């Protein structure tokens, strides 16, 4: 039997749930599609949010001959078969190629579409769950307009489920009743994926007995179908980078609640390495010299987490994440090393000062004989003035003390030693 998601696929743009930033009445995308002049487009977004549905609706109203290919299975010969229809009677209104999962097409396959797309003999609508700017060949990307489809909200899913239940009941002539608690659980457990939500609904409806001419979907039934809240996660995909980015930015922003939330998402996905790596990076980059003692503390927590494994690893990591999030912050060392590397990459280096070189003799051409290194421990307070940077950048300052108590105390100490106070 055809899946419910396919049977109940919206037939007009007004029936599509969500994506109002594209499909709203006054949006440029909507007006362009309704004009009948379909440009080359790439739809980018997670699965189950309406990319294929919108493409199908556009194709149905375009008057063009539709060809559908999937990047996971299509070959170069499949592309040639599509192009062979150019100029035929059946394609007198033009050819619309819907290419799903274009990221799986290699460079040569994508290049094979260039000429026809540029000439307008084929209109391309491609979709991808990955960032097209990383996965789509630049020459093809420059000939298309990218539209981002966003994850559906719980409200969007709830609306779609109500509509699907009503249509399903009408088809089978046995109304489908879904109490609010069951509907809410189905909507939330889908993780923004309408296809998943409809699949779970179909499973529950199939299992529901007909009583008094109706089928009632209970909370217990949907909890058995959708055991746990769905979460989008692909260690090689955009979702991974979005979560780890939010994880570190929440710690940097001193929000322990958000940091724990994103830690939880990483651990629920089983991605212990990313949780540990970003935690250590954040301790060094964002707390840093404001409280340098945190670095070995975080390292110890990570060691414990890796030693005990999941699910117990959540405990030392939660301790460390809250500690990093609530610790004073400083990125002075981070900014300092970045500035130093920028100078090096730009060629601003120069010879190492003679007194710092690892040699104790001078060539015949040396203008100043002798190393002349001043050993700081031979001087009061273990310091004496001496040039350390190369001549070309001798006055460069990379490190600027942060305004936290720890770094300011060190800064005041050295100003006193150097007679700057």
Residue boundaries of the structural domains of the chain: 19-148, 154-225, 238-326, 332-417
What H or E segment, with its residue span, contains residue 158? helix 154-172
How confident is the model at residue 229, as a pLDDT? Answer: 47
Decide if 162 contacts 136 (C-beta within 8 A). Answer: no
Q: Which two tokens stand for residue 144?
A: 């298309």
Q: What residues contact 26, with CB distance under 8 A and at least 6 apart?
A: none
CATH code: domain 238-326 is: 1.20.272.10
How confident is the model at residue 65, as a pLDDT? Answer: 81
Q: In the chain, helix, strand, coil percent, each to 5?
A: 55, 10, 40
Q: Does domain 154-225 have CATH number 3.40.630.10?
A: no
Q: Which residue has the tokens 């969500």?
A: 18
Superfamily of domain 19-148: P-loop containing nucleotide triphosphate hydrolases (3.40.50.300)
How confident is the model at residue 401, as a pLDDT? Answer: 92
Decide if 46 contacts 192 (C-beta within 8 A). Answer: yes
How confident is the model at residue 236, as a pLDDT? Answer: 52
CATH level 3 topology of 332-417: post-AAA+ oligomerization domain-like (1.10.3710)
Rounded CA-CA distance 226/220 in Å is 10
Q: What is the mean pLDDT of each run of 10 residues along the chain (421 residues)?
A: 70 88 91 88 87 87 84 85 76 81 87 84 88 85 90 87 84 84 86 84 84 86 70 58 90 94 88 91 95 95 89 94 95 94 91 78 57 85 91 92 92 91 77
Compute and round to an integer the Cα radius of gyration of the chain: 31
- Give the dihedral of Cα atoms 413, 419, 420, 421; nearest 10 deg: 70
CA distance to 93, 95, 266, per residue, from 89 (Å):
9, 11, 54
Q: Which two tokens stand for residue 63?
A: 């008057």
How confident is the model at residue 37, as a pLDDT? Answer: 85
């Amino acid at each position: 039997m055809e899946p419910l998601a396919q049977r109940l696929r919206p037939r007009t743009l007004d029936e599509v749930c969500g994506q109002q930033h594209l499909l709203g009445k006054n949006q440029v995308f909507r007006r362009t599609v309704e004009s009948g002049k379909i440009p080359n487009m790439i739809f980018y977004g997670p699965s189950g949010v309406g990319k294929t549905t919108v493409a199908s609706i556009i194709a149905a109203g375009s008057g063009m001959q539709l060809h559908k290919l999937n990047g996971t299975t299509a070959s170069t010969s499949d592309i040639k078969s599509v192009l062979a229809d150019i100029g035929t009677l059946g394609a007198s209104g033009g050819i619309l190629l819907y290419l799903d999962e274009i990221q799986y097409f290699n460079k040569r396959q994508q290049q094979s579409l260039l000429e026809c797309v540029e000439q307008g003999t084929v209109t391309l609508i491609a979709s991808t769950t990955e960032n097209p700017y990383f996965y789509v060949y630049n020459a093809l990307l420059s000939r298309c307009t990218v539209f981002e489809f966003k994850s559906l909200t719980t409200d969007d899913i709830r609306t779609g489920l109500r509509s699907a239940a009503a249509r399903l009941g009408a088809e089978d002539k046995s109304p489908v009743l879904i109490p609010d608690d069951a509907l809410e659980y189905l909507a939330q457990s889908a993780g923004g994926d309408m296809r998943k939500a409809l699949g779970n609904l179909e499973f529950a409806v199939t299992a529901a007995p007909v009583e008094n001419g109706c089928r009632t979907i209970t909370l217990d039934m949907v909890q058995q179908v959708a055991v746990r809240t769905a979460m989008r996660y692909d260690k090689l995909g955009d979702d991974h980078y979005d979560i780890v980015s939010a994880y570190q930015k929440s710690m940097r922003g001193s929000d322990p609640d958000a940091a724990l939330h994103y830690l939880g998402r990483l651990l629920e996905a089983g991605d212990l390495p990313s949780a540990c790596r970003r935690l250590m990076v954040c301790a060094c980059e964002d707390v840093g010299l404001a409280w340098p003692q945190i670095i070995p503390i975080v390292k110890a927590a990570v060691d414990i987490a890796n030693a005990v494994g999941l699910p117990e690893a959540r405990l030392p990591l939660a301790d460390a994440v809250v500690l990093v999030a609530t610790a004073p912050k400083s990125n002075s060392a981070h900014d300092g090393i970045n500035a130093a590397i920028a100078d090096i990459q730009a060629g601003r280096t120069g010879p190492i000062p003679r007194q710092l070189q690892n040699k104790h003799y001078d060539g015949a051409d040396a203008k100043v004989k002798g190393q002349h290194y001043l050993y700081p421990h031979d001087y009061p307070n273990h310091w004496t003035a001496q040039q350390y940077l190369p001549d070309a950048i001798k006055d460069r300052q990379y490190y600027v003390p942060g305004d936290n108590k720890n770094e300011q105390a060190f800064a005041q100490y050295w100003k006193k030693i150097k007679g700057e106070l």
